[in-house]
Amino acid sequence: MTLRRALRPWVANVTLMRPDSALPLVHLPDAATALVYRRTGAHNGDLRVVGPRSRASYYPGKELPMCIRVRLRPGAARPVFGIPVSELRDRAAPLTDLWGDRATRLEHQLNELTGPDRILQGIEDALLESLHTGADSHDLLLRQAVESLSTTSERVATLASRLSVSERHLRDVFTDRVGLPPKHFARIQRVRAVLAGADSAHWAEVASEAGYYDQSHMTADFHRLMGVPPAAFRAGRLPATTPCAQPPSAP
């Protein structure tokens, strides 16, 4: 699905899904917040905000005609939804809880549309409206911090000094806007890097490239966030699924 150019600095990716009830739902640890539209019938659907996930969760499969996920870049959710993103951590909330009648009107509009491209266009219009009115001076600080913590092993204190802010200020802004403390954000990014390289037969090399001290450090971190060691996850030996009504506990 093609994303509008004006949203590319704010949206990481858009995914069109048609969930299959025969397959378990695996939600990876993720520092991003997503807006999800679920079509449940010919003219029925809802919008949900899925906050950052501090660890993986595993749910029984479900079947839906269509599901569109707009995954916002870390730091973009605060101006869109108007609340501290830490309040959304490890939970999914109806958009109506955050936007009220505006979300109800948007759901009605999307439910009358046919085809994922037209539905995505309606979602994009709503996101652009929020970003136009909600962006502020913290955006640049967050983008720089997210970039550094995603690509380097720079310590939080060193990063704060380089950005000319106190470590406490960086931690408070980061937690408010991303939903996770900087250190946990960096841990999630490393685990996702391991997942991206999970097809490799050389775990020690994967650990080094992801920024770990050694393979045992990687295995312990991976197990904490994913519920199983890297080799077990690669082999498909996953934790038991839990009903969606039971949110995962924080690590």
**Which pLDDT score is estimated for 22?**
64
Residue 39's region, left for phi above 0, alpha for psi from -120 to 50, else beta, is beta
What pLDDT score was predicted for residue 136? 66
- In contact, 197 and 206? CB cutoff 8 Å: yes
CATH of 138-234, one of 1.10.10.60, 3.30.590.10, 3.20.20.70, 3.30.2020.30: 1.10.10.60
In 3D, which of 142, 151, 237, 220 has the Cα closest to residue 190?
151
Q: Where are the domains of the chain?
A: 5-134, 138-234
- Please give the model's pTM, rounded to 2 decimal places: 0.88
Instruction: Give residue 139's pLDDT.
Output: 79
Helix axes 182-196, 203-210, angle to 10 degrees: 140
pLDDT score of 200: 75
Report helix, strand or coil for 38.
Answer: strand
The whole-number pLDDT of residue 245 equals 52
* Under 8 Å between Cβ of 113 and 66: no
* C-alpha closest to that of 35 among 114, 147, 131: 131
Residue by residue, pLDDT tens for the chain (251 residues) are: 788 999 998 999 999 988 776 678 889 999 999 999 999 888 899 999 999 999 999 988 887 888 999 999 998 898 899 899 999 999 999 999 999 999 999 999 999 998 999 999 999 999 999 886 655 678 788 889 999 999 888 899 999 999 999 999 999 999 999 999 999 999 999 999 999 988 876 899 999 999 898 999 999 999 999 999 999 999 999 998 887 654 444 33
